[in-house]
Amino acid sequence: MAFFKKLKDRLFNSSSKLEKGLDAIVDDGGEVDEKTPVIEGAQDTVVAAIPEVIPEPEPEPEPEPEPAAVMPAPEMGAPEPEVVTPEPEPEPKPVAIPSPEPAPKTGFLGRIIGRAAPKQVTRRVLDDDMLEQLEELLISSDMGVDTALRVSANMAEGRMGRKLSTEEIKDLLAAEIARIMEPVAKPLPIYPKKPQVVLVVGVNGSGKTTTIGKLASQFKASGKNVVIAAGDTFRAAAVEQLQVWGTRAGVPVLTAPEGSDPASLAFDAMAQAEEDGADLLMIDTAGRLQNRADLMEELSKIVRVIQKKDPSAPHNTLLVLDATTGQNALNQVETFQKLADVSGLVMTKLDGTAKGGVLVALADKFGLPIHAIGVGEQIDDLDAFDPEDFANALTGRTL
Ligand SMILES: Nc1nc2c(ncn2[C@@H]2O[C@H](COP(=O)(O)OP(=O)(O)OP(=O)(O)O)[C@@H](O)[C@H]2O)c(=O)[nH]1
Ligand SMILES: [Mg+2]
């Protein structure tokens, strides 16, 4: 299955919510526009004003295999944040709305006169009322108030008084979302430093352990020598869970007895990984709620102890967020940023939630790199974050 199709299917709950909402908004006070076929109408009313960021539609489905999910970025010279910028993206094409396809010759009249019979499209004049409804819809899709207002305002700019169809609004919305997400779509940077220490943090149940298993599997497949440390010594069965993932991914898991100090395990794991010449050491940690000061302090201690071995470690601190928590993800970023130098995000459980819009709010508010997204519970259900695919899937845009 092509990557975009998979993402679109998995993001169905978010996109169908937005789609239904947009249909309802346009139907409310909109009029059936019988004079113009869909595509010509879209051109008349939108293309002239389409911002240059409208993404080009996906080319023909790429040949299998699917793109490896979270391919590491090219090796970097030093673990400095400013050097991790990936290759510059090619400039988006100015206007990528496809030129109108020759319309299908449908209907008796259409066949006689050799032109397309006009399709019925409902369009609504963009006014203050409609704008307000759009804002509300975006807020309800977990985009957050500030981001929803900004996105709606940008979509409306220069278009007040124009008639818009649902499809045209989707195009504008997708372009706006892709524009916000573009700067944060960055794979996990890989440094020459051995071992590169990746500390994985997040609240209970956000998907840390699962994400480590998925990432370890991908890095292993790309030829990296990976070691995992089971730094969650707090929860019973956490070690076993990580060992299962280690077996699936084919990487060793370093463990310590339940209840022991995770900081000392992290220290020992650093020594072991150095000795083994591992490229990557991924440290799992116990889930910690923002209000548990003791657990939060424990996290700071892990960082301090790691730094005794290598002052530049951890080289990445990944905050794993659960998309189903919606707006709470924003608070989690703020809290974890105070405790640890969060270097990037992984958003899990984007499958099956209607709250995918929170990712837009996160990108807009924090600008932290989004390294990967979790779209299921299986080992290969971790994808690199692609802003255009995400924007199209979230808005339910048909390409
Ligand atoms: N649908 C779906 N489920 C996921 C995803 N990622 C993780 N899960 C599930 O979420 C649940 C919690 O995942 P864990 O990896 O144990 O989460 P954790 O953050 O390690 O949890 P604690 O160690 O208890 O804090 C498990 O049932 C996973 O299968 C995802 O992308 N999609
Ligand atoms: Mg865990």
The CA distances from residue 43 to 38, 40, 154, 165, 391, in Å, are 9, 5, 19, 11, 21
* Smallest-distance ligand from the CA of 207: 1
CB 350, CB 358: distance < 8 Å: no
Answer whether residue 81 is part of any domain. Answer: no
Burial class of residue 97 in the structure, from the number of CB atoms within 10 Å of its CB (0-12 exposed, 13-18 middle, 19+ buried): middle
Q: How far is the CA of 208 from the centre of ligand 1 (A)?
A: 7
Report the C-alpha gap between 212 and 199 in whole angstroms. 10
Atom 26, ligand 1: residue with shortest CA distance: 207
Strongest mean pLDDT among 62-66, 107-111, 254-258: 254-258
Tell me, what's the pLDDT at 34?
Answer: 66
For ligand 1, is residue 355 a contact (CB within 6 Å)?
no
pLDDT in tens, 68-112: 456 555 455 444 444 334 444 444 333 222 333 444 434 444 343
Tell me, what's the pLDDT at 397?
Answer: 84
Specify the residue for token string 């709010």: 361
Identify the residue with better confidence: 71 or 123.
123
For ligand 1, is residue 235 a contact (CB within 6 Å)?
yes
Answer whether residue 382 is part of any domain. Answer: yes
Answer whether residue 32 is part of any domain. Answer: no
Tell me, what's the pLDDT at 117?
Answer: 52
Atom of ligand 1 nearest to the CA of 381: 31
Q: How far is the CA of 8 from the centre of ligand 2 (A)?
A: 27
Q: How far is the CA of 141 from the centre of ligand 2 (A)?
A: 28
Q: How far is the CA of 209 from the centre of ligand 2 (A)?
A: 4
The pLDDT > 70 percentage for the chain reads: 75
Q: What are phi and psi of 259, to 5 degrees?
A: 85, -5
pLDDT in tens, 309-322: 999 999 999 999 99
pLDDT > 70? residue 170:
yes
CB 273, CB 224: distance < 8 Å: no
pLDDT > 50? residue 193:
yes
For ligand 1, is residue 204 a contact (CB within 6 Å)?
yes
Answer whether residue 225 is part of any domain. Answer: yes
pLDDT > 90? residue 120:
no
Answer whether residue 67 is part of any domain. Answer: no
Answer whether residue 3 is part of any domain. Answer: yes
Answer whether residue 322 is part of any domain. Answer: yes
For the ranges 31-40, 53-62, 222-231, 353-362, the lowest mean pLDDT is seen at: 53-62
Answer whether residue 65 is part of any domain. Answer: no
Domain count, the chain: 1
Per the prediction, the chain carries an average pLDDT of 81
Domain that holds residue 247: 1-18+120-391
CATH number, position 263: 3.40.50.300
